[in-house]
Structure 1
Amino acid sequence: MSLRGARTFVGLGFGAIQAGLFLYEAWASGAFGRLVVAEIRPELVAAVREAGGYYHLNIAHAHGIEQVQVGPVEIYNPQLPAHREALVEAIAGAEELATALPGVAYYAGAGPASPHRLLALGLRRKARQGGPRAVIYAAENHPQGAASLLEARVRSAVLPLEQAALCRPVRFVDTVIGKMCGVTGDLAGLAPVTPNSPQAFLVEAFNRIYISPVDFGDGQPFVRGLAAFEEQANLIPYQEAKLYGHNAVHALAAYLGAACGLTRMAELRERPGMVPFLRAALLHESGPALRARHGPVPGLLAPDDWAAATEDLLERILNPHLRDSVARVARDPARKLGWDDRLIGTMRRALAAGIMPRRYALGAAAALALWAPGAAAATALSTLWGDVAPADQVRPILDLIGEGQQQLARWRAQGFSDLETMFQIEEANG
C-alpha cells in the first residue's frame, strides 16, 4: 500500500497507540500522502530513519497474528532545532493530528520541544498562511476531557490577542479508545519495530473508536481522512462504558488472575467459572449501573447491544494472540483503586442504581491484596481516597470490599475452585 492521498497527518508521540492506531489507520485509509510523527527518544527516531521511515506492526486477530509494514513516515525529534522546524511546518499544513502521550501531564513541559509549544507554533503558522482546517485527536484519558485541557495548554503558549485566530481553523477532539495496544520484548513470532529493534508493537485488530463531534460552526462539514472513527453527539456514555465496563472488567480479570498466580490474561479461560464470573460482572453490575445513569443508549447500552458487546470484549481481552500479561494489566493497583477509577467508580455507580457490586468488590479486594498485602480495607483505602470520598458513601464500599476479602480467602482456601459457582452458592445462602 502506498501513500496516495493529498492530506497530511501529524502525530505527537510514537508509542503503541500512535503506531498501532492513528498512523496505521491514516496509512490504511488511502486519504493521506504524508505521515509525520514527533518522538523524543533519539534511538527510536534513528532506527526508523535508518529503516527508510518504515516500521512493523503485529495485529492480533482471533485466529492469529498479521504482520504489516507501515510507512513511509517522517519521524522527527523536536529536541533538535532542524527537526522542530520540520514539525512546525508539518503541523501548519496538516488536516488531522493526534496526541498519544503517557498522560495529559505531558502536554506542557519545559523547553521548546513541549507538545503544547509545537502545536502553538504550527497552528500560528497555519493561521498566518491560511493553511487547511484541522482536527486534533487527544488520545489521553482524563475525566474532564483531554481535548479541552490540550486546547487550554496550547492557548497558553501564545499571546491572548492571538488565541482566537490560532484556534479558529482547528478543533480539539476527545476520543474513546477501546483498542488494546502494547509494546513487547517477547519477539517470538513477531516482527520487531525495525529490523534491529529489541521490541515489537503488538495491537489488536479492533478499531471502533468514538470521538466527539467535529463542528467548525460555519455549516461546512469537515470530511475526516480517518473515516473509521465514529462521531457521537454525547461522548459521556461511551467514556463511562469504556471506564466502568471495559476497563473495569479488564482490571477485575487481571487482579483475580494475579490472585491465583497466572501469568497471561488468556490463561483465565482455563480457570473454572472465571469467564462466567467476568460475564456476570458486565451483565449484572456494569451494564445496569450504566443504563441507570445514561438510559439504554442504542448500539451501546441497550440490553441486547450490551450483551453482544460483553461477549466480544471477553473474547478480546482473553485473546491468546494478544499475549497480554496479567502483570501489565494489573500494574498500578493504587490508581485503579482510586475513588472514581474503574473498580471503585463502578461500585459507586452500581450502588447508586440499587445494585450490589459484589463481583467488583472481590476484584477490589484482590487489587488491595496486591497493593497492600494484609492491610485492612478501611485503613489503606481511606488514606488513599483522602478528602475526595464523601463519608456517607465510604462505609458501604468498605463493607463490600471487606466481604470481598473474606470471599477471596475462601476461594484461595478452596484451591481456586469454580468462582462463579462459589459466588452463586454464597449469594443463595445469604
Structure 2
Amino acid sequence: MGGTFVGFGFGAIQGGLFLPSAFASGNFDRLVVAEIDSELVAQIRRSGGTYQCNVAEAAGLRTVEVSGLEAYNPLVDEDRVTLLEAISEAAELCTALPSFTLYDSGDASVAALLAEGLGRKVENTQAPSAVVYAAENDARAAARLREACLTRKPSGFGNRVVFSETVIAKMCSVVTDSSRIRAEGLAALTEGSSRALLVEAYDKILIDESVPPGFERGLDRFIPKADLGPYALTKFFGHNAIHATLGFLARDKGMSYMHEVRESRELLTLAKRAFVEEAGVGLRKEYAEVEDDLFTPDGFLEYADDALERMINPFLRDPVARVTRDPIRKLGWEDRMLGSMRLAIRAGTVPAVMARAARIALGFACREASWDKPDAALRNIWSEWEESDEKSLCLDLLLSSS
C-alpha cells in the first residue's frame, strides 16, 4: 500500500499503540513523529530510528520493536520544514498529546503544523487524502482539533481531510524510574535510555468510521463505528470510573500497586458490584436503544470482567498513586466518578460503592488543597453547577456514605 504516517507527541499512546500498529500493518513506507523533547528526538536518531516497547500480556511481558522511525522537533526550523512536507504527503496522522488544551500553543503547535501541512495537501491534487486521529482522552478531541486548525486556516480542507475521534481503553505508561526498569526487566526505549514504554496487550481500539471519498485505511486493525458517543462515555463512566473507584479503595487499604487488589476478595467484590450493578445499570439504561451486545446484561458483564482483570494485571505494575492522582479533577461534576454515579441514580440505583470511593477521594482532595470542611470542598469543586435535587443527593451520598 505504501504511504506516510505522522504522529504528534512521542508518549505512551503514540509509541505504544499508534506507531507499533502502523509499523506492524506493513501499509506505510514512512513513519514520522513530531516531538518537542530534544533529548527524546536525539535518542531515536542515535538508535537509527529503532525503539522498543514492553507489552504486558496476561502471562508475562513481551517486547515489540519498531524501526524506521524519523523523529523531528518542530521547534527546530530545519525539522519543521521536513515535518510540513511529511504532513502534506501523509495519509494517516495521529495526535497523542497530554491534553487537547495543548493543540494550539504557539507557532510550532500541532494546530499550526497541521493547518499549514494539510493546506498544502489540499492544494496538491496528487497528494493523498488523509484521516487525522485525535487520541487525547476527550470525547470531542477531534472536533476540538479541527476547530483549532480552522482558526488558522478558515477555508478548511474540503473533503480531503477527516478528523477522527477515537476511544482508547488501553492502559499505557512511560516508566522513568531506572531502578524499576531494571527490577522488572523492562526493555529501555533505546539503548542507554532512562525511560521505557509499558502498555497492555489490549488492542480493541474504536475509531470514527468516516473517511474521505475513496479512502483506504492503512491502520486496518482498529474498529470503525458510526457513532462513537456511547462507547466514549462507556469508557469514561465505565472503565475510567471503576478504575478510579478501585484505585481509591486500594489506596485506602495502603496498597501501592493495582495488582495487589488480586489478594483482596473484598475489593474485587466491591469493584465488580460497582462496575456491573452501579455504573453498568446507568450506562445500559442510557444506551438501551443502541444495538450492541455491550449494552445487554450479559455483554456488559463480559466487558466488566475483562476490564477488571486487565486493571490488576501484575505485569503492568500500575501504581495506585498514578491511578488516584488529581482527586479534585476526578471529583468534578462531569468527570468519571460523579458522572457515572449520576447515571446510576437516574436509572434508579444507589451507587453506594462508587460513593464510598468518592468519599475517600474527597479526603485526599481536602488534604491536597488544605480544605478542612468536606461539604464546603465539594461545593467549591462543583461551584460552576447550579443547585439541584441531584446535586443535593450526591452531596448526601458522599458525606454520609459508609
TM-score (norm 1): 0.89
Alignment match, 1:268: 261
Alignment match, 2:323: 329
CA displacement at 1:391 relative to structure 2: 2.7
CA displacement at 1:296 relative to structure 2: 6.1
* 1:401 matched to 2:392: no
Contact 1:20 1:181 in 2 (8 A): yes
Alignment match, 2:111: 116
Contact 2:54 2:197 in 1 (8 A): yes
Gaps of 5+ in 2: none
Alignment match, 1:350: 344
Change (3 A) 1:104 1:204: same
Aligned-partner residue type, residue 36 of structure 1: V
* 1:12 matched to 2:5: no
Alignment match, 1:154: 149
* 1:187 matched to 2:200: no
Change (3 A) 1:34 1:215: closer
Structure 1 residues 183-240: Cα deviation after superposition (integer angstroms, max 9, x where no partner): 1122120001111111100000001011122143x4x3x2211111111111111011
CA displacement at 1:41 relative to structure 2: 0.3
Aligned-partner residue type, residue 248 of structure 1: A
CA displacement at 1:280 relative to structure 2: 0.9
Alignment match, 1:40: 36
When structure 1 is superposed on structure 2, of 265-274 and 353-362 the one drifting more is 265-274
Q: Secondary structure at the match of 2:174?
A: strand
Change (3 A) 1:393 1:375: farther
Aligned-partner residue type, residue 374 of structure 2: A
Contact 1:98 1:136 in 2 (8 A): yes
Structure 1 residues 273-321: Cα deviation after superposition (integer angstroms, max 9, x where no partner): 1111101111101111011111164232211111111111111000000
CA displacement at 1:369 relative to structure 2: 1.3
Correspondent of 2:60 among 57, 61, 64: 64
Correspondent of 1:388 among 382, 385, 388: 385
CA displacement at 1:104 relative to structure 2: 0.8
Separation (CA, whole Å) in 2 of partners of 1:215 and 1:12: 20
TM-score (norm 2): 0.95
Correspondent of 2:231 among 225, 238, 247: 238
Separation (CA, whole Å) in 2 of partners of 1:167 and 1:150: 16
> Identity, % of aligned pairs?
44
Separation (CA, whole Å) in 2 of partners of 1:242 and 1:56: 28
* 1:174 matched to 2:174: no
Gaps of 5+ in 1: 408-430
Contact 1:296 1:303 in 2 (8 A): no
Separation (CA, whole Å) in 2 of partners of 1:37 and 1:215: 22
* 1:86 matched to 2:87: no
Contact 2:363 2:374 in 1 (8 A): no
Separation (CA, whole Å) in 2 of partners of 1:30 and 1:301: 35
CA RMSD of aligned residues (A): 1.3
Alignment match, 2:301: 307
Contact 2:366 2:374 in 1 (8 A): no
Separation (CA, whole Å) in 1 of partners of 2:335 and 2:191: 39
CA displacement at 1:392 relative to structure 2: 2.3
Q: Secondary structure at the match of 2:181?
A: coil
Separation (CA, whole Å) in 2 of partners of 1:299 and 1:173: 24
Structure 1 residues 374-404: Cα deviation after superposition (integer angstroms, max 9, x where no partner): 8443211111110224432211001111222
Separation (CA, whole Å) in 2 of partners of 1:280 and 1:272: 12
Correspondent of 2:278 among 266, 272, 285: 285
Alignment match, 1:75: 71
Q: Secondary structure at the match of 1:57?
A: strand
* 1:359 matched to 2:350: no
CA displacement at 1:325 relative to structure 2: 0.3
Change (3 A) 1:66 1:402: same
Aligned-partner residue type, residue 154 of structure 1: C
Separation (CA, whole Å) in 1 of partners of 2:6 and 2:83: 8
Separation (CA, whole Å) in 2 of partners of 1:258 and 1:375: 21
Separation (CA, whole Å) in 1 of partners of 2:211 and 2:131: 10
Aligned-partner residue type, residue 12 of structure 2: A
Q: Secondary structure at the match of 2:209?
A: coil
Separation (CA, whole Å) in 1 of partners of 2:315 and 2:160: 42
Contact 2:16 2:199 in 1 (8 A): yes
Separation (CA, whole Å) in 1 of partners of 2:200 and 2:386: 36
Separation (CA, whole Å) in 2 of partners of 1:181 and 1:118: 26
Separation (CA, whole Å) in 1 of partners of 2:91 and 2:273: 43
Q: Secondary structure at the match of 1:116?
A: helix
Q: Secondary structure at the match of 1:198?
A: coil
Aligned-partner residue type, residue 121 of structure 2: K
Alignment match, 1:107: 103
Aligned-partner residue type, residue 152 of structure 1: E
Aligned-partner residue type, residue 397 of structure 1: C
